[in-house]
Each structure stands twice: as C-alpha cells, then as structure tokens.
Amino acid sequence: MRIDILTVLPQLLESPFSASIMQRAQDKGHVEIHVHNIRDYSTDKHKNVDDYQYGGGAGMVLSIEPIAAVIEKLISERSYDDIIYMTPDGKVLEQSDCNTLSLSKNLMILCGHYKGVDERIREHYITKEISIGSYVLSGGELAAAVVVDAVVRLIPGVLNDETSALTDSFQDNLLSPPVYTRPPEFKGWKVPEILLSGNLPAIEKWREEQALQRTQDRRPDLLD
Ligand code: 6GU
C-alpha cells in the first residue's frame, strides 16, 4: 500500500510512523508513507497557504490552489482508491472502516487546519471524510496518524501470529478479555486460577465469558 499525507505541519507526522509496528511495516515493504508539505506548493511570494474567509468571521481557511496543486500532481501519477479529508464533521471511524481501507492500493489523506479547507476541495476531490471521535483537535494530523496506524496493522504480513489482528478488540464486536503475565502473585494480588490450570478448552471458555461480560459492562452499544 502507498499512503500520501498532505499537511501544513509535516513535523507532527514524523514520529508516529518511526517506531515499532509502523516502522517495521515500512521496512518490510508493506507500506510506503509519503508526507507532503502543502506549503511547498504555494506560489504566493510569502508561501502563504491560508486566507481570510469570504463573508467575514474569525479563523483562517486553507486556500484551494496549493492543495489542488498537490492533489493534481499525485492523481496524475497513480490512481487513488480514496482521497480522505480528516475533519471533525466526517464519519466517525470504526474498525469496519479500517478493514475496508486496508484493502486499498493507494490512499491520499488531507489534514485540515484552522477553520478548515475551502469547501471546493471537499466537493471536487475528496471521496471520504473521516473523524476519529466527538471532540475537536487542533488539526487533522494526529487523526491521520490514528487512521494510518489502524489501517496499516491490518495489511496481511504486518502483524505476526502473536499480535494477530484477528484477536483484536472490536474485530468480533467484543472487547478483549483481561490478560496477565508472571509473577502469579504480587502483593497478594493473584492471577485467576483458571489461567494457570493448563486446561485449554476451559481457558478459552473463560476468555469468551470475560470478553462478553466486559463488553456488556463497558460498551453495551457494541452488542446491539
Ligand atoms: Cl479528523 N480533525 C480534527 N481537527 N478534530 C477531530 C478530528 C479530526 N476527529 C476528531 N476530532
């Protein structure tokens, strides 16, 4: 998969992909992540990328020209499965959306800032608008990093058997059961006996019950 991210703050996207699973996914060739600085496409003499909004009002709006210039350059080079705009008024991301996106060959992600982008970008280039939840971030960069992480780990080969995405919370609409490691007792706090029993069918049954109980207690909406 190839992912192109368009932003006015490329420095916000340096570290999220430079460690652990995301770095390994790139090293192994499962994904190429290209971050583009929208400012590099400004033809303005001050390299401006934003302007006052028509009709008045507080807050700057990202201008159409530099963003259109990056998008048109990229779409002339390859075809994109989706051109995504990160915005708090988009569809709230769920695991099923990540599963769908993980089947893409080329994705483009535009990060919004300030008051947003000129609406004509959204009308004419954007194919999906995504939010990561009901709260407002200063910009779309951290949200884009969330989408990339959630999608890339689903690409076959990125995770090994031990970290398999198939046992993730949400993949079966259930939260994950609790997990423990050594020591078996710490300050008198014991690991549940069943997990030490070696009785694999009984352990599996216990985990299923715990997953269901946890989902009922914390996220009953997932069971609807
Ligand atoms: Cl995608 N962008 C911003 N600015 N805030 C958000 C968001 C996105 N998703 C939730 N809050």
Taking only the tens place, the pLDDT of each residue in 181-203 is 999 999 999 999 999 999 999 99
**Is the same domain home to 63 and 118?**
yes
User: How close is the Cα of 92 to the center of ligand 1, in Å?
Assistant: 9
Average pLDDT over residues 56-78: 97
Among 123, 152, 181, give the residue marking a domain's end: 152
User: How close is the Cα of 162 to the center of ligand 1, in Å?
Assistant: 32
User: How close is the Cα of 90 to the center of ligand 1, in Å?
Assistant: 8
pLDDT score of 41 more than 80: yes
d(CA 98, CA 154): 8
Contact 140, 13 (CB under 8 A): no
pTM of structure: 0.95
- Domain harbouring 184, CATH code: 1.10.1270.20
**CA-CA-CA-CA torsion sign (89, 94, 98, 101):** negative
Among 152, 183, 203, give the residue marking a domain's end: 152
* 136 pocket-lining for ligand 1 (C-beta < 6 Å): yes
* 7 pocket-lining for ligand 1 (C-beta < 6 Å): no
Nearest residue (by CA) to ligand 1, atom 7, is: 88
Structure confidence at residue 166 (pLDDT): 67
* 133 pocket-lining for ligand 1 (C-beta < 6 Å): yes
User: How close is the Cα of 133 to the center of ligand 1, in Å?
Assistant: 7
Q: Which residues contact 21 (CB under 8 A, 6 or more apart)?
A: 149, 152, 153, 158, 159, 163
* 110 pocket-lining for ligand 1 (C-beta < 6 Å): no
Nearest C-alpha neighbor of 7 from the set 38, 41, 43, 40? 38
d(CA 84, CA 135): 19
Taking only the tens place, the pLDDT of each residue in 13-25 is 999 999 999 999 9
**Is the same domain home to 144 and 174?**
no
**Is the same domain home to 148 and 173?**
no
* 88 pocket-lining for ligand 1 (C-beta < 6 Å): yes
For the chain, how many structural domains are there in total? 2
Domain containing 45 equals 2-152
Q: How far does the chain reach from its first CA to its final CA, in angstroms?
A: 33
* 42 pocket-lining for ligand 1 (C-beta < 6 Å): no
Helix (H) or strand (E) holding 25: helix 20-27
Structure confidence at residue 163 (pLDDT): 61
Structure confidence at residue 162 (pLDDT): 60
Contact 203, 197 (CB under 8 A): yes
**Is the same domain home to 48 and 120?**
yes
Average pLDDT over residues 161-171: 70
Is residue 174 a part of any domain in this protein? yes
Which of 13, 117, 137, 142 to probe ligand 1 with, by most ligand atoms within 8 A of CB? Answer: 137
pLDDT score of 37 more than 80: yes
Average pLDDT for the chain: 95
Among 125, 152, 179, give the residue marking a domain's end: 152
**Is the same domain home to 122 and 203?**
no
pLDDT score of 146 more than 80: yes
